[in-house]
């Protein structure tokens, strides 16, 4: 989602709109906004719109949302 959430149009939907610092093994990296804010109803509305646009192009009745981040 970070490609979308860095855009001004979608940035307000990010869990951390300004990004965040990630420290691993003493090294800090500035990370972009990576995941949707699950408490913002507009995040759900965005995903509903994406799913309704994309799913008709597939024959399967199931799909993996991949909600492993938030």
Over the stretch 11-62, which tens digit does the pLDDT of each residue have? 999 999 999 999 999 999 999 999 999 999 999 999 999 999 999 999 998 8
**Where are the domains positioned within the chain?**
2-53
Chain position carrying tokens 């990630």: 22
Judge if pTM exceeds 0.85. Answer: no
> Judging by beta carbons within 10 Å of its beta carbon (0-12, 13-18, 19+), is residue 43 exposed, middle or buried?
buried
Residue 70: per-residue pLDDT: 60
Dist. CA 7–CA 13, nearest whole Å: 10
């Amino acid at each position: 989602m970070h490609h979308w959430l860095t855009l001004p149009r979608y940035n307000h939907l990010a869990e951390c709109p300004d990004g965040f610092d990630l420290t691993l093994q003493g090294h800090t990296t500035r990370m972009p906004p990576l995941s949707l804010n699950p408490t913002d109803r507009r995040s759900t509305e965005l995903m509903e719109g994406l799913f309704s646009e994309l799913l008709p192009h597939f024959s399967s009745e199931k799909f993996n949302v991949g909600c492993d981040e938030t």
